Amino acid sequence: MSLKCKLGLHSWDGCKCSDCGKLHDVQHDWSKDCEKCSKCGKTRENHHDWDECYCSRCGKKKDHSLYVKEGELLCYNCKKLFKDELDYFDYLKYIEDINPRKYADKKSNDEINSLLDKITTASLFEELLLNTESNQVRARSIREIKNQDILLKFILSEPKPHQYYSDYYSIFTTFQSSDLLNYVFKYLDKVELLEILAKEHSSDDVRKDTMRHIEDVLNKNLIKQIETGQIKDQIALKDIYLNACEGDKKLRHHAIENINDQSILKEIYEKIASMSEYCKTTRNFVNDLLGDAGNIKPIIYKIKDDNLLEKIARDAAPKSYFGVMKKDYENLMRWSVARIKSQNILLKIIQEDDQITNSDLKETAFYSIKDKEVLKKLWKPDDKVFGSIHVAALLEYNSYILEKALNGSTEAVGCIKSEEDLAKVAIEGKGIGYMKAGSEKFYSDDDEDFNSKYVEGVQDKALKRIYDPALLEKVVNESKDRRIQEIAAKRLNIYKK
């Protein structure tokens, strides 16, 4: 210190001695900042004269108060428009999600999405994912990030990634899954990274969910290999199918739809047929045999071996009477029989003793026979099944059909081919129409309303199928039923016109 300063004769430059640097609390320099002296650094509060975002005294600017309007980022005070994606990044990094319990501001969320649409740099989305607190921004960042290592880093840093989605459910239009973890799983499919997550995450639930996701990813990879023809080996497809019978439905369907080897199909059936009806594998296999909304076609359509189809039908027949899947087994029995082409196998089933063969199976087999010579051998006019109208029509036993129709069989009327025979039934047929129970006294001029409560007899049904005016006139002249005469007359007038 100079002698002059020791004697108190300082060379003051405002609040600071230019020789020794001593300070005194006068003549501070507030020209560059109204609240901080540029010479000594002393501070004070509330001395700026703000004009929007700038001080009119010192020219200092304060942080902008930002908001989004019509997809643009603006300052409330100075109305400055920000167009750089770094500005969008700085704004989005610190925003908070709207609490839907207080207000549901969908517009605000749309505005946030409009800013996210303007960010194109991948590294900015990575920074947002790892640093923002907004789940809306996180969800969009997850969708845009291609680097799966970043997704892994994010999930590993989240102790409870299941909790977020439920807190903000009503505003997350971008979320398609139940929580943040499942949303990440949509884009994280590298098995080696998932194995790290399953091993290192602190949450037991996350580790368990990750193991399930790994299985899903492996199944999807198998499906892709099957679709692209990388897996064609029938034995490999059989193993994939059997292993998937307890799990992935899509994988099961893709595998079985590419198996065409009849011996492999037989092996699959025999392996599963021995299992309990209550076993999930058995239930899934029966569903696959019959087909469902997820199947391109049922397995039963792929089986060409009549002997295997017979075995499936025989196995299913006794189960169609009881059990939780009796309807499925009934359908399986009927579908299998319907696919059998060998008339001899069908005949063998029919001719077996009733104590050996299920009656429904025999009846189904009988109706599947198309060979007329075989049907003629089985024909029994007085038998409920072997003397059915259906068989008589196949054998063209027209006199038998006419006899049944005249005696009141509406099914027989539907099998009559000759209009002359139809006219005879309309005139002489027994079994007139009647009103449904509870509507006997009902009458309406509205034909549609009346017909909805009227059950047609053989005469009505026969008359409807007569188009020859001469035969209609015959019905008018010879019928003893006034109502039939009137209906026939109306139809005759229509054809005359």
pLDDT in tens, the chain (497 residues): 788 888 888 888 999 998 888 999 889 999 899 999 999 999 999 898 888 888 888 888 887 888 888 888 888 888 888 889 999 998 888 887 654 433 334 556 778 888 899 999 999 999 999 988 888 888 889 999 999 999 999 999 887 765 544 333 333 443 333 477 888 888 999 999 999 999 999 888 889 999 999 999 999 999 999 988 999 999 999 999 988 887 788 898 889 889 999 999 999 998 888 887 677 888 888 888 887 655 556 888 889 999 999 999 998 888 766 766 888 888 889 999 999 999 999 988 888 876 666 788 888 888 888 888 888 888 888 776 677 788 888 889 999 999 999 999 988 999 999 999 999 999 999 876 666 655 444 444 445 555 556 678 899 899 999 999 999 999 999 999 888 899 899 989 888 76
Tokens of 493: 């007038």
CB 283 within 8 A of CB 325: yes
For residue 153, which of 165, 162, 163, 161 has the smallest C-alpha distance? 161
CB 217 within 8 A of CB 246: no
Instruction: Give the whole-angstrom CA distance, residue 431 versus residue 439.
Output: 19
- Cβ partners under 8 Å of residue 4, min gap 6: 10, 11, 19
Instruction: Give the whole-angstrom CA distance, residue 71 versus residue 108.
Output: 10
Tokens of 375: 């049907």
Instruction: Give the whole-angstrom CA distance, residue 312 versus residue 314.
Output: 6
Which residue's entry shows tokens 């006199």?
399
Within 10 Å of residue 14's Cβ, how many Cβ atoms?
Answer: 16
Instruction: Give the whole-angstrom CA distance, residue 404 versus residue 96.
Output: 82
Pairing of strands 66-69, 81-82: unpaired
CB 430 within 8 A of CB 460: no
- Cβ partners under 8 Å of residue 81, min gap 6: 72, 73, 74
Alpha-carbon distances of 397 from 389, 406, 409, 458, rounded to whole Å = 9, 15, 15, 19
Tokens of 91: 């704004």
Q: Where are the domains of the chain?
A: 66-218, 395-497
